[in-house]
Amino acid sequence: MDQEPEWIESVGTDGRPVLSAKGSWTIDAVSVLDSRIKATHLNGTKQAELDLSGITRLDTAGAWLLYRTRRDFADDGIDARLAGLDPHYAPLLDLVEQADKAHPEIERERPGVLVEFVSRVGKSVCEAAEEGLNLLNFLGLTIITMLRVIVRPRRMRIVSLVNQIEQTGLNAMGIVGLLLFLIGVVLAFQSAEQLRKFAAEIFTADGLAILVLREIGVLIAAILIAGRSGSAFTAEIGMMKVNEEVDALRTTGVDPIEVLVLPRINALLLTLPLLTFFANVAALTGGTIMAVATLDVTYTQFVRQLADAMTLKNFIVGMVKAPVFAFLIGLVGCYEGLQVGGSAESIGRLTTKSVVESIVLVIIADATFSIVFAYLGI
Amino acid sequence: MDTDVVIKVRGLRTQFGTQVIHDNLDLDIRRGQVVGVVGGSGTGKSVLLRTILGLNRPREGDIEVLGEDARQALDTVQRRTGVLFQNGALFSSLTVAENIQVPMREHLDLSRSLMDELAALKIGMVGLPPDAGPKFPSELSGGMRKRAGLARALSLDPEILFLDEPTAGLDPIGAAAFDNLIAELQKGLGLTVFMVTHDLDSLSAICDSIAVLVDKRVRLGTMAEHMQDAHPWIQSYFHGPRARAALDNRL
């Protein structure tokens, strides 16, 4: 039904070049026409004619090519006259011309690869620094609000605190218990394999107890909670931010930090130590079962060895970290939630960011603890 | 022969569960018409639009778009129609220019430079500033996002343009500018426009025909014809204070 688009060069009666456009000049054809037009060079002439009488169909893409051809000729000092265009299509050509006049230049300036790399690195460093500063700011705000609430305990939001404890603590017990049990199994098995070579299998118990109590129990529990509750904090608060609920709270005179952030952080401060204790029990149970099943030691022997290694010091070294990790996770989760702005798109991005950031901070804090304890000789 | 009927709906029945939205609905829209679809909340204006586009399956009835069965020739329909969704529905991970190029990439094989030129052209046509091209949708205001959505809808030079509440959420000045833009593009490109709207100003300013959804059917007519209609909803719609204000402005 559509006629083949054509672009024909010829010479008119008065010696001027005539360029005839024929057929259907629509977006389906512009690819071919574009290369044909680009191959057209008019040399040594000041005048030309664009004969459009053969055009049967025209759309904006086709009109753009006609317009651009004429414009490019004009840039080369060639005056190209349009002739024979169906008056029906005149408004279309006007529209295209207006649109182009509004955009004098199509800017396509791309910086070099190296410049782009350096600027990207610089940008992300600046962003990270700013993020750190903002987080510090938020930490201050949270602590001040916390102190205010401690002075006037009636402002404590007990209902939402209990609700958060249920969600972040009670509901997390299954997954924390299962994972730590399995990690205990793996730890016992791996260390037993190594120690067997020295006929020191019984020290599997010492390794297990020290590793679990001091590091693994609290670290894995914190990472799980960061993934599970930290992300939930960001998503929940972020959703409220998108719905303007946070602004609604502010306008009614309610401090969002007090009702949204504090109950969440406080809940984590309470539940993460408890979960850590639970995690320790689960890991040690898993390790014991594995050791007794694979090693030539009796249950009583192993447990006695384990009990000797489970000193109060080791236990406390692990437990001390729990509230610090909890605070970091809660802080980052709530902070990123409040960073959500405008559209729902940012919720997903910030939730990911919140999880990554809180896990990074937890591990940095853990390393710091190790260094400090090493200095103190604990 | 009604060859210039571009949208033809016969005996349409849409139903969600037991709730019947449209029942035995007929609709004819001719080439070059600007049709505004109005109706109370829940009468299925957007559902009708989605059904014609093939996004909803009708329970019964036939829909022909540009002479093709909308359900069988979905490709053709998609290729020859453009849609502006309520909030623009721009792809958030792509820039405005890339958004406009998505349909071109999907349906055509154009060179990179030509696509850039065409995207810039469309951006100019919908009245966006030149620097909007490399921006991401989240960096645009609501009105600009709608314009960018319109540019994407026009990307393949469609014959029919579907608009879902194009002026909702715009301030009156922005809404009037958007109306003008649509009217201008419609004239320049010879488009058929199917527009779901509640904006009485747009209805009186740019629609030459109004489809009112009442009693699960459509009543198509001009503003003047609807003014005579005795149906209570149509009466209160076209004779309410807001309608009168919109009409007065026009006169």
**Three state DSSP letters for A136-178:** HHHHHHHHHHHHHHHHCHHHCCHHHHHHHHHHHCHHHHHHHHH
- Find which of B3, B68, B100, B121 to mutate to test the A interface (most A CBs within 10 Å of its CB): B121
Residue that is written with structure tokens 């620097």 in the block: B131
Which pair of structure tokens corresponds to residue A53? 């009488």
Query: For B144-178, how does the pLDDT look when each residue is reduced to its tens digit (9 = 90+)?
Result: 888 888 888 888 888 888 988 888 877 888 888 88
pLDDT at B249: 64
pLDDT at A279: 96
Domain covering A6-102, topology: Transcription Regulator spoIIAA (3.30.750)
Chain A 99-118, CB below 8 Å of chain B: which residues? 99-100, 102-108
Identify the closest residue of chain A to B131 by CA–CA distance: A107
Identify the closest residue of chain A to B138 by CA–CA distance: A343
- Find which of A25, A95, A109 to mutate to test the B interface (most B CBs within 10 Å of its CB): A95
B130–A contact, CB cutoff 8 A: yes
pLDDT at B21: 84
CB-CB neighbours of A94 under 10 Å: 14
Averaged over A351-373, what is the pLDDT?
Answer: 95
What's the sign of the alpha-carbon dihedral A291, A295, A298, A301?
negative
Residues of chain B neighbouring A61 (CB-CB closer than 8 A): 118, 157
Range in A110-119, A303-312, A346-355 with the lowest mean pLDDT: A110-119
Which pair of structure tokens corresponds to residue A269? 């401060």
Dmax over CA atoms of chain B, in Å, equals 57
Distance from CA of A347 to the nearest CA of B (A): 13
Range in A165-174, A358-367, B66-75, B197-206 with the lowest mean pLDDT: B66-75
Query: In angstroms, what is the C-alpha Rg of chain A?
Result: 36
Residues of chain A neighbouring B141 (CB-CB closer than 8 A): none
Distance, CA of B52 to CA of B7 (rounded, Å): 8
Q: Where are the domains of chain A?
A: 6-102, 157-376
Q: Using the beta-carbon criterion (under 8 Å), do B124 and A30 form an inter-chain contact?
A: no
Which of B108, B118, B123 is nearest residue A64 as measured by Cβ atoms?
B118
pLDDT over 70, % of chain A: 97
Closest of A291, A315, A96 to residue A218, by C-alpha: A315
Q: Are A264 and A166 in contact (CB under 8 A)?
A: no
pLDDT at A35: 83
Of A323 and B169, more confident: A323
A15–B contact, CB cutoff 8 A: no
Query: For A102-152, how does the pLDDT look when each residue is reduced to its tens digit (9 = 90+)?
Result: 765 555 567 788 888 999 999 999 999 999 999 999 999 999 999 998 888
Q: What is the count of residue pairs from A and B with beta carbons less than 8 Å apart?
A: 77
Which pair of structure tokens corresponds to residue B132? 């909007």
Domains and CATH numbers, chain B: 5-250 (3.40.50.300)
Residues of chain A neighbouring B138 (CB-CB closer than 8 A): 342-343, 345-346
Report CA A107 to chain centroid distance, whole Å.
30
Q: Are A320 and A305 in contact (CB under 8 A)?
A: no
H or E element in which residue A90 lies: helix A90-102
pLDDT at B1: 39
B145–A contact, CB cutoff 8 A: no
Of B245 and A285, more confident: A285
Which of A28, A94, A103 is nearest residue B108 as measured by Cβ atoms?
A28
A27–B contact, CB cutoff 8 A: yes
Low-confidence ranges of chain B (pLDDT < 70): 1-3, 247-251
Identify the closest residue of chain A to B104 by CA–CA distance: A27
Per-residue pLDDT for A280 more than 60? yes
Secondary structure class of A108 (helix, strand, coil): coil
Averaged over A34-57, what is the pLDDT?
Answer: 80
Which pair of structure tokens corresponds to residue B163? 């608009």
Say which residues have a Cβ less than 8 Å from residue A12's Cβ, sequence separation at least 6: A18, A49
Q: Using the beta-carbon criterion (under 8 Å), do B138 and A342 form an inter-chain contact?
A: yes
B124–A contact, CB cutoff 8 A: yes
Query: Which residue pairs, CB below 8 angstroms and at least 24 apart, start in A96-101?
Result: A96/A60, A96/A63, A96/A64, A96/A67, A96/B121, A96/B125, A97/A67, A98/B124, A98/B125, A99/B121, A99/B122, A99/B123, A99/B124, A99/B125, A100/A67, A100/A68, A100/A71, A100/B121, A100/B124
Please, what is the average pLDDT of chain A?
88
Range in A25-34, A228-237, B115-124 with the lowest mean pLDDT: A25-34
Report CA B203 to chain centroid distance, whole Å.
12
Closest of B164, B222, B213 to residue B193, by C-alpha: B164
pLDDT at A103: 64
Q: Are B27 and B53 in contact (CB under 8 A)?
A: no
- List beta partners, residue B161: B82, B193
Averaged over A355-365, what is the pLDDT?
Answer: 95
Averaged over A315-320, what is the pLDDT?
Answer: 93
Q: Are A279 and A174 in contact (CB under 8 A)?
A: no
